[in-house]
Chains A and B, each alone.
Chain A
Amino acid sequence: MDGAAVRGREKLACDVAVVGSGPAGASAARVLARAGARVIVFEEGPFARFRDFPSDGFTAMAKFYRDMGASVLMGNAPMPFLQGRAVGGGSVINGAISWRLPRDVYDEWVLNDPAIGDAIPWDEIDAATDEIEKDLNVLPTDDAVAGPNNLLMAKGAEALGLEHRRISRYTRGCRGLGRCLQGCPEGNRLSMDLTYLADACAHGARVLSSVEVGGILVRDGRAAGIVGRASGGGTVTCEAGRAVVLAASAVQTPVLLMKNGLRHGPVGLGFQGHPGTSMIGWFGDPVRVWTGATQGHEVTGMRKEGLKFEALGYDIAVAAARLKSAGRAFAEEIRALDHWAAWGACVRAKGRGRVGAGFGRASVRFSLLPEDVFRLRRGVRVLGEMMLAAGAEFVTPGVHGWHDKVAQRAVMARFEEEGPLDPRAYTMVLTHMFGTCRMGADPSKGVVRPDFRHHAVDGLYVADSSVFPTNTGVNPQTSIMALATICGRRIAAGTGQ
């Protein structure tokens, strides 16, 4: 059903109303539908048919990214944070990278709150992840479709002796079209709309696109349904007999709670993310970052230091915008755009921020700590050295106040000492978000219990990465799906009801 067609008042009823159709909402909805519950998933964004995905980045961002990709978080280094807004959420426009939740991250969570270990045993996460990997055909990127940008990273990492590997991605029949971030035009990336949501619908669930949920109905201390605004101008009210599941993302879920006066516990606080910065380098042979598997190679050897490196494929317009120059020099550099490679460093930042709900909209504040900036400097250094070792004639760190172009590894190595400490000197983007409705046994420290139930409102659950006690240092989609699957199981089993 499409909210664009809803002009009047629509009244619905179900057992479980799920808000948000991204990896979290889709995973929870699927388990519940398979368990026989009548499920309705509400999604603010439109339904996108994969053949309609545009080839250019601008149109894709306009149609399938929240705020056209221009949501900005404020703090000591204002930066955009990107989120998908479509049926399937971020899975429709993301890099398809799959990472299991690292055991050491889980152990940190349990050390801080042993109740999490009791409520969500590691073996259950592990087994749920096995199933997800099987369902989504998660496999290392095939060299035949990798393309130069990925293969060069392997070469650079090898030269520096860094542990690296082909990225495992959820694709089937990927032809390396390099358009994952605009939406795969052939449906080769196994996003939620094509997989878990389709499966949930096959088991009786319904998905309502273009309906923005604004109200959570609470009666006698129990979540009883939702109220939404359809893009067609109408309103949708849905009574939910058993549960309301919030899976609107780590930014929108706390906003929804706050808008409804549900300010219990540290709601909105504890925001964490993985700020990412990029390095570009010029190679003698064409690289064409807009072709090949969008993100097909990664360096994993420094993960425990809070750094992860990935090859970055993106639309040619984004590749151009990353160049340092302006005016005629910019036009000149664009002529040779196919010779630039682009790789990114993703930082497991220790800084914590907050999500607010001023004027009913999300506002995010987040600042890097000094130790995060040190980590960032190390990341930029390693990226530059690795690219030069892979054969780049020169690299462009894109850091204000430092060299525009670097051709020698020895100079790049100095960045770790010399690089600016002002985070605003770096160009960063954030795509992974966590921690704004943390789980915890103590209601003063957690918004939901370790079994995903809200501390103050019965029948209300949070299934997305808001509940993660910390960031994970790795790409989160698969961990989000594993935890949301477990959340769905707990609701199906009637735990705590």
Chain B
Amino acid sequence: MLLLLSAIFVITLVSVLGYSMVGWAPFEMRWRDALLGAMLPGDGDRPGFDDIDLREFWAIYDTHAPPLVRIGLRAATWFLTFLPLFVSGCRKPFFRLDADRRDRFLRAASSSRFYLVRQLMMTVKTFAAFGYFSNGVVRGLFGIPSGTPGPTTWSNG
């Protein structure tokens, strides 16, 4: 298994390094967004990652992300997209899985015994959280105004 993981990772890295500095290809964006959306799904009541306007978030990413960050997110996208092919009960790329299988895969991968898998999952989760909470509407749901908030008066003694 370790060998297999290393092989997928090396292939991923080579493909990713090749054009890390150019924008995302449309198919890659679909893979990436499938992962981010499943990482933080909506539930009718609250919006999920897929439901919010992320144009500003990706614009900031495009302007500021250093090579290391671009490589990291790209590597995570490719690797986690194809890892389910080798997982029993999945056997398809991530974007082809139904919602339940996506969820089960993510849960298992986040506590994988392989350090590399956990780190790549962490990358996806961090991006999902940063993207989600960069949105003013979402912040508003948690009582955080986009401008300057008021003073804290809470005290539990």
Contact = CB atoms under 8 A, between A and B. Distances in A.
A71 B57 CA distance: 20
Nearest to A334: B40
A222 interface: no
A152 interface: yes
A70 interface: yes
Contacts of A177: 148-149, 151-152
8 contacts: A70-B69, A145-B151, A146-B155, A175-B152, A177-B152, A316-B133, A317-B130, A326-B107
Contacts of B143: 288, 338
Interface stretch (A55-63, A190-198, A254-262): A55-63
Given A58-B57, A72-B68, A327 B133 contact: no
Interface in B21-48: 38-43, 46, 48
B133 A315 contact: yes
Given A67-B69, A175-B152, A330-B39, 7 more contacts: A55-B147, A145-B151, A151-B157, A288-B143, A288-B154, A327-B102, A330-B128
A147 interface: yes
Interface residues of B, number: 55
A151 B125 CA distance: 29
Contacts of A424: 115
Interface residues of A, number: 54
B152 A147 contact: yes
Interface string B54-82: 00010011011110110010000000000
B15 interface: no
A178 interface: yes
Contacts, number: 134
Nearest to B126: A321
Given A56-B139, A325-B110, A338-B142, A320 B154 contact: no
Contacts of A20: none
For the complex of A and B, 9 pairs with smallest distance between CB atoms: A317-B133, A62-B64, A58-B130, A320-B129, A176-B152, A326-B110, A327-B103, A326-B106, A321-B129
A489 interface: no
B156 A70 contact: no
A67 B148 contact: no
A331 B40 contact: yes
A67 B63 CA distance: 12
A148 B68 contact: no
Contacts of A400: 111, 118
A427 B109 CA distance: 16
Interface string A380-392: 0000000000000
B125 A330 contact: yes
Contacts of B145: 55
A389 to B, nearest CB: 15
B9 interface: no
A393 interface: no
Contact of A70 (B43, B66, B102, B133): B66
B77 to A, nearest CB: 15
Contacts of B122: 321, 427
